[in-house]
Amino acid sequence: MAGGTLLRALRGADLVELMDDGLLSTEVPPCSALYFWKLDLAAVDVRSLDAAAGLAWLQLLSATPVGRTRAARIGHYLRLENLRLSAGPLPATKSASLKTFLAKSGNRNWMHRFLEELGQHAPALYVGETGDLPARIKQHMSGASDFGRMVKDSEDLDWTRLQLQYCSLGPPSQEGSSTRTALEYFATTVTIAGYTTRPG
Protein backbone atom coordinates (compact mmCIF):
# COMPACT_ATOMS: atom_id res chain seq x y z
CA MET A 1 0.00 0.00 0.00
CA ALA A 2 2.22 2.78 -1.33
CA GLY A 3 1.66 6.55 -1.40
CA GLY A 4 -0.39 8.49 -3.92
CA THR A 5 -4.12 8.62 -4.45
CA LEU A 6 -5.81 5.71 -2.74
CA LEU A 7 -9.35 6.02 -4.13
CA ARG A 8 -9.99 5.79 -7.83
CA ALA A 9 -13.40 6.44 -9.40
CA LEU A 10 -15.24 5.08 -12.42
CA ARG A 11 -18.58 6.35 -13.66
CA GLY A 12 -21.41 3.85 -13.74
CA ALA A 13 -22.26 4.73 -17.35
CA ASP A 14 -18.69 3.85 -18.36
CA LEU A 15 -18.87 0.58 -16.42
CA VAL A 16 -22.14 -0.34 -18.15
CA GLU A 17 -20.50 0.26 -21.53
CA LEU A 18 -17.42 -1.75 -20.55
CA MET A 19 -19.63 -4.61 -19.32
CA ASP A 20 -21.67 -4.57 -22.54
CA ASP A 21 -18.49 -4.65 -24.63
CA GLY A 22 -16.81 -7.31 -22.46
CA LEU A 23 -13.96 -4.90 -21.69
CA LEU A 24 -14.35 -4.40 -17.94
CA SER A 25 -10.91 -5.87 -17.21
CA THR A 26 -9.26 -3.22 -19.41
CA GLU A 27 -10.25 -0.43 -16.98
CA VAL A 28 -10.63 -2.26 -13.68
CA PRO A 29 -7.37 -3.75 -12.43
CA PRO A 30 -7.30 -7.28 -11.07
CA CYS A 31 -6.79 -6.65 -7.37
CA SER A 32 -8.12 -7.14 -3.89
CA ALA A 33 -10.05 -4.02 -3.00
CA LEU A 34 -12.32 -2.04 -0.78
CA TYR A 35 -15.02 -0.45 -2.93
CA PHE A 36 -17.90 2.01 -2.68
CA TRP A 37 -20.98 2.51 -4.83
CA LYS A 38 -22.15 6.12 -4.65
CA LEU A 39 -24.62 8.33 -6.47
CA ASP A 40 -22.88 10.13 -9.33
CA LEU A 41 -24.27 13.64 -8.84
CA ALA A 42 -22.79 14.74 -12.18
CA ALA A 43 -23.94 11.70 -14.20
CA VAL A 44 -26.16 14.08 -16.15
CA ASP A 45 -24.31 17.10 -17.51
CA VAL A 46 -26.45 20.07 -16.46
CA ARG A 47 -24.34 22.33 -18.71
CA SER A 48 -26.12 20.90 -21.74
CA LEU A 49 -29.65 21.17 -20.31
CA ASP A 50 -32.17 23.96 -20.15
CA ALA A 51 -33.32 25.25 -16.76
CA ALA A 52 -36.33 22.92 -16.51
CA ALA A 53 -34.33 19.79 -17.35
CA GLY A 54 -31.53 20.85 -15.00
CA LEU A 55 -34.03 21.31 -12.20
CA ALA A 56 -35.54 17.89 -12.96
CA TRP A 57 -32.09 16.34 -12.47
CA LEU A 58 -31.63 18.13 -9.14
CA GLN A 59 -35.11 16.98 -8.06
CA LEU A 60 -34.25 13.40 -8.97
CA LEU A 61 -31.01 13.56 -6.96
CA SER A 62 -32.83 15.02 -3.96
CA ALA A 63 -35.47 12.29 -4.00
CA THR A 64 -33.16 9.31 -4.66
CA PRO A 65 -32.88 7.18 -1.52
CA VAL A 66 -29.43 6.87 0.05
CA GLY A 67 -30.56 3.85 2.03
CA ARG A 68 -33.35 1.37 2.49
CA THR A 69 -34.19 -1.23 5.06
CA ARG A 70 -35.09 -4.80 4.41
CA ALA A 71 -38.25 -6.07 6.02
CA ALA A 72 -37.58 -6.85 9.67
CA ARG A 73 -39.64 -8.12 12.57
CA ILE A 74 -38.97 -5.81 15.51
CA GLY A 75 -41.59 -7.23 17.85
CA HIS A 76 -44.20 -9.97 18.16
CA TYR A 77 -46.76 -7.99 16.17
CA LEU A 78 -44.58 -5.23 14.74
CA ARG A 79 -42.86 -5.49 11.38
CA LEU A 80 -40.85 -2.76 9.68
CA GLU A 81 -40.89 -2.71 5.87
CA ASN A 82 -39.61 -0.38 3.20
CA LEU A 83 -38.10 2.38 5.29
CA ARG A 84 -36.59 4.71 2.71
CA LEU A 85 -33.92 7.27 3.56
CA SER A 86 -34.14 10.27 1.23
CA ALA A 87 -34.86 13.96 1.36
CA GLY A 88 -37.74 13.71 -1.10
CA PRO A 89 -38.66 16.37 -3.63
CA LEU A 90 -37.37 19.89 -3.24
CA PRO A 91 -39.88 22.39 -1.81
CA ALA A 92 -41.61 24.62 -4.38
CA THR A 93 -39.78 27.78 -3.29
CA LYS A 94 -36.36 26.09 -3.53
CA SER A 95 -37.26 24.62 -6.93
CA ALA A 96 -38.29 28.03 -8.24
CA SER A 97 -35.03 29.61 -7.04
CA LEU A 98 -32.93 26.86 -8.59
CA LYS A 99 -34.82 27.01 -11.88
CA THR A 100 -34.18 30.76 -12.08
CA PHE A 101 -30.52 30.18 -11.24
CA LEU A 102 -30.19 27.49 -13.93
CA ALA A 103 -31.68 29.74 -16.61
CA LYS A 104 -28.21 31.26 -17.19
CA SER A 105 -25.60 29.22 -19.02
CA GLY A 106 -22.80 30.37 -16.70
CA ASN A 107 -24.78 29.18 -13.70
CA ARG A 108 -25.33 25.76 -15.27
CA ASN A 109 -21.55 25.54 -15.79
CA TRP A 110 -21.05 26.41 -12.13
CA MET A 111 -23.69 23.87 -11.05
CA HIS A 112 -21.96 21.12 -13.02
CA ARG A 113 -18.68 21.78 -11.24
CA PHE A 114 -20.51 22.09 -7.90
CA LEU A 115 -22.18 18.68 -8.40
CA GLU A 116 -18.86 17.05 -9.30
CA GLU A 117 -17.24 18.38 -6.14
CA LEU A 118 -20.30 17.84 -3.94
CA GLY A 119 -20.27 14.17 -4.96
CA GLN A 120 -17.14 13.72 -2.86
CA HIS A 121 -19.27 14.45 0.21
CA ALA A 122 -22.24 12.27 -0.70
CA PRO A 123 -22.59 9.15 1.46
CA ALA A 124 -21.74 5.76 0.04
CA LEU A 125 -24.76 3.66 -0.84
CA TYR A 126 -22.89 0.39 -0.49
CA VAL A 127 -19.43 -0.58 0.75
CA GLY A 128 -17.83 -3.92 -0.02
CA GLU A 129 -14.54 -5.77 -0.02
CA THR A 130 -13.30 -8.36 -2.44
CA GLY A 131 -10.30 -10.43 -3.42
CA ASP A 132 -11.13 -9.92 -7.13
CA LEU A 133 -12.50 -6.48 -8.02
CA PRO A 134 -13.47 -7.07 -11.68
CA ALA A 135 -15.30 -10.29 -10.79
CA ARG A 136 -17.18 -8.60 -7.94
CA ILE A 137 -18.22 -5.67 -10.13
CA LYS A 138 -19.56 -8.16 -12.69
CA GLN A 139 -21.52 -9.92 -9.93
CA HIS A 140 -23.10 -6.67 -8.80
CA MET A 141 -23.89 -5.34 -12.27
CA SER A 142 -25.33 -8.64 -13.50
CA GLY A 143 -27.65 -8.84 -10.49
CA ALA A 144 -25.85 -11.80 -8.89
CA SER A 145 -25.43 -10.04 -5.52
CA ASP A 146 -27.98 -8.66 -3.05
CA PHE A 147 -26.98 -5.08 -3.88
CA GLY A 148 -26.98 -5.83 -7.61
CA ARG A 149 -30.51 -7.25 -7.42
CA MET A 150 -31.60 -4.22 -5.40
CA VAL A 151 -30.29 -1.84 -8.08
CA LYS A 152 -31.79 -3.97 -10.85
CA ASP A 153 -35.23 -4.00 -9.18
CA SER A 154 -35.13 -0.38 -7.98
CA GLU A 155 -37.24 2.39 -9.44
CA ASP A 156 -34.79 4.90 -7.96
CA LEU A 157 -31.34 3.52 -8.78
CA ASP A 158 -29.66 2.76 -12.07
CA TRP A 159 -26.05 1.76 -12.75
CA THR A 160 -25.62 4.73 -15.10
CA ARG A 161 -26.40 7.10 -12.20
CA LEU A 162 -23.88 5.49 -9.86
CA GLN A 163 -20.14 5.79 -9.47
CA LEU A 164 -17.72 3.14 -8.29
CA GLN A 165 -14.87 4.23 -6.07
CA TYR A 166 -12.27 1.69 -5.08
CA CYS A 167 -9.04 1.35 -3.18
CA SER A 168 -6.65 -1.38 -4.29
CA LEU A 169 -5.44 -3.51 -1.39
CA GLY A 170 -2.92 -5.60 -3.28
CA PRO A 171 -2.91 -8.48 -5.75
CA PRO A 172 -6.02 -10.61 -6.32
CA SER A 173 -6.62 -13.21 -3.64
CA GLN A 174 -8.93 -16.18 -3.37
CA GLU A 175 -8.58 -16.12 0.40
CA GLY A 176 -10.61 -14.05 2.81
CA SER A 177 -8.85 -11.27 4.67
CA SER A 178 -9.58 -10.09 8.18
CA THR A 179 -7.94 -6.75 7.31
CA ARG A 180 -10.23 -6.24 4.28
CA THR A 181 -13.35 -7.06 6.30
CA ALA A 182 -12.23 -4.77 9.14
CA LEU A 183 -11.67 -1.94 6.64
CA GLU A 184 -15.05 -2.67 5.07
CA TYR A 185 -16.75 -2.51 8.46
CA PHE A 186 -15.03 0.75 9.38
CA ALA A 187 -15.71 2.37 5.97
CA THR A 188 -19.37 1.33 6.10
CA THR A 189 -19.84 2.98 9.48
CA VAL A 190 -18.12 6.27 8.65
CA THR A 191 -19.72 6.65 5.20
CA ILE A 192 -23.20 5.68 6.44
CA ALA A 193 -23.63 3.21 3.57
CA GLY A 194 -27.39 2.81 3.68
CA TYR A 195 -27.70 -0.20 1.36
CA THR A 196 -25.01 -2.33 3.01
CA THR A 197 -26.66 -5.14 4.94
CA ARG A 198 -23.79 -7.06 6.57
CA PRO A 199 -20.60 -5.01 6.81
CA GLY A 200 -17.39 -6.81 7.65
pLDDT single digits (tens) 47-67: 999 999 999 999 999 999 988
Position 4 pLDDT exceeds 70: no
Same-domain status, 108 and 146: no
Same-domain status, 14 and 103: no
Q: What is the pLDDT of residues 72-127, one digit of tens each?
A: 788 878 887 777 888 889 999 999 999 999 999 999 999 999 999 999 999 999 99
Residue-by-residue DSSP string for 31-100? --EEEEEEE-TTSS-GGGS-HHHHHHHHHHHHHS-SEEPPPEE-SSS-EE---EE---SPPHHHHHHHHH
Strand pairing report for 33-39 and 124-130: antiparallel
More confident residue, 93 or 71: 93
Q: How confident is the model at residue 170 (pLDDT cuts 50, 70, 90)?
A: very high
C-alpha span between 138 and 132 (Å, rounded): 10
Q: What is the pLDDT of residue 142?
A: 96
Same-domain status, 76 and 146: no
Q: 156: helix, coil or strand?
A: coil
Same-domain status, 143 and 179: yes
C-alpha span between 34 and 126 (Å, rounded): 11
Q: How confident is the model at residue 1 (pLDDT cuts 50, 70, 90)?
A: very low
More confident residue, 163 or 196: 163
The total number of residues written for the chain in this structure = 200
C-alpha span between 73 and 79 (Å, rounded): 4
Q: What is the pLDDT of residue 78?
A: 85
Same-domain status, 115 and 173: no
Q: What is the pLDDT of residues 118-168, one digit of tens each?
A: 999 999 999 999 999 999 999 999 999 999 999 999 888 999 999 999 999
Domain end, chosen from 91, 119, 147, is at 119
* pTM higher than 0.75: yes
Cβ within 8 Å of residue 142, ≥6 positions away: 19, 148
Same-domain status, 35 and 129: yes
C-alpha span between 90 and 80 (Å, rounded): 26
Position 71 pLDDT exceeds 80: no
Range of the domain at 4: 1-41+122-200
